[in-house]
Every structure is written in C-alpha cells, then in structure tokens.
C-alpha cells in the first residue's frame, strides 16, 4: 500500500555497529577491585593450603611445631620455617595474581596457550602434593584443627596484604 505507514522503521545495522570496535579498540569498563581481591586472596589461600599439605607430608606438621614453639626451649628455624613458608606463599601468589588481573588488558585471548600450560602445571603439582604420605599424628585432632585454622587465617591476611600492595597505585 503506497500511503500506509504503520510506524515501523526498518534499520539495517552494519556489523561494526552491533559488535563495536574491533580488537584492542574495544573499550572495557573499569575493573572491579572486589573481584581482583577475591581472586587473588583465593589463589593465595589455595597456594598456602598446597604448601601446608606438602609440609605435612614432609614431616613438618604445624600442630607438632606449635607445641615445640610454646615449649620453654629455644625456638628453631624448624619450628617457625613452615609458618613463614605458608605466609610467604600466600603473599607472593596473591600479589602475582592481583598484579596480573589488574595490569593485563582485556581480552586475554592471546594468553590461552599460556593459561593451558599453567593449568596443566598446577594440576600436576597438586597431584604430586596430594599423593605424598601423611605424617603420623602426635597431637589431638582438636589442636590440629585449631592450629591449621590459625595458619589459614594468617595466610588469608597476608594474601590480602599481598593483593593490596600489588593493586594500589
């Protein structure tokens, strides 16, 4: 019908107007600091858990070392070393994760082979840690749980500190 206009406008969009700018010209919104901190702290605490499992299999059980720490004798590196290893692993891993999440530009498609390789290495390391033999228990279960929770709390605080120091400007 030549004079009939129903009020519908036909718009034929071109591909750039639908998808937006191509490649690195595409603008992404500001990154969420909460997500960066959450990802970094999670990675740091998981690294501390892996170190704790590895040290427990190597004979450095935290509850036994805690008992030695509270004794009247002198403190040895064997007593405090695993605590520093847990805290250091959480600090370093969370700082590296926060720095990577904050500084690398979107999209991360070009890092796919690197992500697959790192994922395979992490799975192999966790499989190695999981198959290690457990050390014999010399302390009760309640004390072991309390000491391990204290160690994870310490690792969480240092992971948050590492993430904060890596992200601040």
Contacts for 160 with CB less than 8 Å, ≥ 6 apart = 37, 41, 94
Q: Which of the given ranges, 9-13, 50-54, 86-90, has the highest pLDDT on average?
A: 86-90
Q: Do residues 133 and 64 touch, judged by C-beta distance below 8 A? A: no
Q: Which residue has the higher pLDDT, 92 or 52?
A: 92
Q: Do residues 155 and 87 touch, judged by C-beta distance below 8 A? A: yes
Residue 32 pLDDT:
81
Q: So where are the chain's domains?
A: 30-167
> Is 141's pLDDT higher than 90?
no
- Lowest model confidence (mean pLDDT) among 12-21, 23-32, 144-153: 12-21
> Is 153's pLDDT higher than 60?
yes
Query: pTM for this one?
Result: 0.68
Residue 164 pLDDT:
92
Provide mean pLDDT across the span 102-107: 75
């Amino acid at each position: 019908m030549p004079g009939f206009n129903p009020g519908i406008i036909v718009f034929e969009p071109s591909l750039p107007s639908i998808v937006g700018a191509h490649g690195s010209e595409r603008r992404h919104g500001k990154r969420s600091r909460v997500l960066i901190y959450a990802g970094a702290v999670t990675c740091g605490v998981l690294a501390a858990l892996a170190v704790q499992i590895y040290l427990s299999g190597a004979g450095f059980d935290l509850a036994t070392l805690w008992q030695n720490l509270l004794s009247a004798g002198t403190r040895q590196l064997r007593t405090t070393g695993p605590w520093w290893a847990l805290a250091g692993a959480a600090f370093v891993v969370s700082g590296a994760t926060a720095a990577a999440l904050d500084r690398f530009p979107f999209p991360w498609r070009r890092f796919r082979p690197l992500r697959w390789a790192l994922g395979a290495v992490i799975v192999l390391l966790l499989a190695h840690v999981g198959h290690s033999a457990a050390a014999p228990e010399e302390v009760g279960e309640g004390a072991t749980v309390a000491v391990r929770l204290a160690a994870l709390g310490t690792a969480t605080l240092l992971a948050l500190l590492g993430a904060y120091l890596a992200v601040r400007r």
